[in-house]
Structure 1
Amino acid sequence: MTGFIVLYTQSKPAAGYAGAVLAAMGIYPTIPIAVTWAGSTSGGDVAKGVAIAMVLGAGNLGAICSSFIYIKPSRFYVGHGIILGWLGLAVLLSCFAMWDYTRLNGKKKVLCDAQGIDETRREEFKNMGNESPLFRGL
C-alpha cells in the first residue's frame, strides 16, 4: 500500500520510481502467500485444489481489470485509487479471516478436549476435510 500511496501523492519521477519499486516489492510476494494460505485453510484434496484454483483465477483477473482502471494518464489517479481501495479491503478481510479461523479453531479444540479426540484418531476423521475436529485453519 505504501508504494501506491507514494505513486498517488507524489509527482516527481524519483518518487514515482520509488513508489513503483515499493508496490512491486509488496505485490509479488503476496501471490505465493495467498496460494499457500488458501491451500492450508482447506481440508481434503478436492477442497484444496478448488481453493487454489479460485485464488489463481481471481488473481489473473487483475490483468483484465487493470486495462480498464488505468485509463487517465499521466498520474493514473483512478487506477491507483482503486488499487488502494482493494488493498485496504484485502487487509480488512484478511484480519477478519484470521479472527474467524482463531474462533473456529478454539471451538474445535474445546470439542476435541470434551470428546477425548487427539492425533491418534486422525485416520478416523481423514475424509471429513474441513469438518474434521482435528483440522485447524491458519
Structure 2
Amino acid sequence: LANYFIDKYRNDVPQDIHGLSETARADLLNHAWPGNVRMLENAIVRSMIMQEKDGLLKHIIFEQDELNLGVPETAPENPLPSSPDPQYEGSLEVRVANYERHLIETALDTHQGNIAAAARSLNVSRTTLQYKVQKYAIRFGVVRN
C-alpha cells in the first residue's frame, strides 16, 4: 500500500522517489496505526515532500513528529489567571499595575530577593526594578542588590 502511494504521488514532488528504504519500512511496521488508510497516505506524502534527495524514501514522518518539531515538551506556564481574579479588575491602568507588581513579586521570590537576578529575568535594569519595588511598596524579606 505504501508503494502504491509512492507511485501515485511520484510526479507531484521534485525528488525521484521510487520505493521504501529498510528504515522507512521499519518505521511503517513499528508505528501504532490508530487511524485509517488516509493516515498512511498522508505520512507517505509528507515524507516524500520532506525528503531532500532522489532514491528510496529514507524515513517516514508521522503527523505527531511534524507537530513536535521545535515545540517544547511542556507548554510554558501562563502567568495570567484563567478565571477572573479581583486583583485584575478595574481600569486598564490598575490591571496593568497589578499585573506588573505580580510579575515583580514572582521574580523576586524566584531569585530569593536578589534584585540584580530578578531584573535580568524580567529584562529590565536593576535601577528600574528598584524604582518599581519602591513604587509598588513591595516588601520581600531581605531584598538584596
- TM-score band (shorter)? under 0.3
Greater percentage in helix:
1
Structure number with bigger Rg: 2
More strand by share: 2
More relative contact order, 1 or 2 (CA 8 Å, 6+ apart): 1
TM-score (normalizing by structure 2):
0.24
